[in-house]
């Protein structure tokens, strides 16, 4: 997938007015995600994404601790001017759902295994929980 195709997928998924809005949120979300993806998963993600997206993820210093999904959304909200938690959740979900379409399913499974619970819905997937 090329960068322009990723941006178009985000634009369509999120219902953004234009490519500029979709690109802005894509850059912020992928930059935030990059701090939470490490090791082989980070390397494999970089190989499967367009070079522009790969750099946004791979050039980040790993976070001191992984953020819970709600904290991740809040961190994105702080980086997007005028964003609220609700609009940031929409933005994050739009980008991560597009990302899940851009890479293979096995890599998405590995990403979700690396992140705290709660991220699956942001990637456009149901999160199954074992019964106690």
CATH number for the domain that contains residue 7: 1.10.490.110
Does residue 113 sit within a domain? yes
> Do 70 and 81 contact (CB within 8 A), yes or no?
no
Does residue 34 sit within a domain? yes
Does residue 97 sit within a domain? yes
- Domain of residue 34 covers 3-123
Share of the chain above pLDDT 90, in %: 81
Dump pLDDT digits (tens) for 49-101: 999 999 998 888 888 888 999 999 999 999 999 999 999 999 999 999 999 99
Q: What is the mean pLDDT of the chain?
A: 92
Does residue 8 sit within a domain? yes
CA-based nearest residue to 13, from 93, 81, 122, 119: 93
Does residue 129 sit within a domain? no
The pLDDT of residue 128 is 60
DSSP code string of 11-27: HHHHT-SSHHHHHHHHH
Number of domains in the chain: 1
Average pLDDT over residues 17-46: 94
- 45 versus 1: the higher-pLDDT residue is 45
pTM: 0.92
Output the six-digit token pair for 30.
């992928």
Q: Taking the CB of residue 17, how many other CB atoms lie within 10 A of it?
A: 9
Does residue 131 sit within a domain? no
Does residue 102 sit within a domain? yes
Is the pLDDT at 131 greater than 80, yes or no? Answer: no
Does residue 132 sit within a domain? no
Q: How confident is the model at residue 24 (pLDDT cuts 50, 70, 90)?
A: very high
């Amino acid at each position: 997938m090329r960068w322009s195709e990723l941006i178009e997928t985000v634009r369509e998924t999120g219902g953004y007015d234009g490519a500029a809005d979709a690109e802005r949120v894509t850059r912020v979300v992928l930059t935030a995600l990059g701090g939470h993806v490490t090791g082989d998963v980070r390397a494999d993600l970089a190989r499967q994404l367009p070079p522009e997206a790969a750099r946004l993820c791979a050039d980040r210093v790993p976070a001191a601790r992984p953020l819970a999904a709600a904290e991740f959304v809040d961190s994105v909200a702080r980086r997007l001017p005028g964003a609220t938690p609700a609009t940031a959740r929409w933005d994050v979900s739009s980008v991560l759902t597009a990302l899940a379409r851009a890479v293979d399913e096995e890599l998405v499974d590995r990403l979700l295994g690396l992140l705290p619970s709660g991220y699956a819905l942001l990637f456009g997937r149901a999160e199954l929980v074992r019964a106690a």
